[in-house]
Amino acid sequence: MRPASHLSIVLSLALVGCGAPDVDATDTSTETDVPRVDREVTQADLDRWKTELSNWGRWGPEDEKGTLNLVTPEKRRAAASLVQDGVTVSLARDAQTEEAVDNGRPYEHEMLSVRDAASSDRIAVSFHGYAHTHLDGLAHHFLDGRMYNGFERDQFVTMEDGATRGSIHNVKDGIFTRGVLVDIPLMKDVPYLEPGTPIYVEDLEAWERFSGVTIGTGDAIFIRTGRWVRRAEVGAWSPSDEAAGLHPSVIPWLRARDVALMGSEAAIDAVPIPDAITSADDYPPVHNFVLVALGMVLFDNCQLDALAEAAAERGRWEFLLTAAPLPMVRGTGSPINPVAVF
Query: Domains in the chain and their CATH numbers?
Result: 4-341 (3.50.30.50)
In 244-331, which ranges are continuous DSSP H helix? 251-257, 285-289, 305-314
Q: What is the pTM of this model?
A: 0.89
Query: 290: closest CA among 323, 319, 322, 258?
Result: 258
Within 10 angstroms of residue 328's Cβ, the number of other Cβ atoms is: 16
217: left (phi over 0), alpha (psi -120 to 50) or beta: beta
Helix (H) or strand (E) holding 318: strand 318-323
pLDDT for the residue numbered 39: 87
Q: How far is CA 328 from CA 49, 120, 163, in A?
A: 32, 22, 10
**Tens place of pLDDT for every residue, the chain, 342 residues?**
333 333 443 344 343 334 344 444 334 334 445 556 678 999 999 999 999 999 999 999 999 999 999 999 999 999 999 999 999 999 999 999 999 999 999 999 999 999 999 999 999 989 999 999 999 999 999 999 999 999 999 999 999 999 999 999 999 999 999 999 999 999 999 999 999 999 999 999 999 999 999 999 999 999 999 999 999 999 999 999 999 999 999 999 999 999 999 999 999 999 999 999 999 999 999 999 999 999 999 999 999 999 999 999 999 999 999 999 999 999 999 999 999 999
Query: Distance (Å, rounded) from C-alpha 230 to C-alpha 247?
Result: 20
Instruction: Give 252's Cβ-side CA count (13 Å radius).
Output: 18
Query: 338: closest CA among 122, 42, 114, 89?
Result: 89
Query: Distance (Å, rounded) from C-alpha 134 to C-alpha 128?
Result: 7
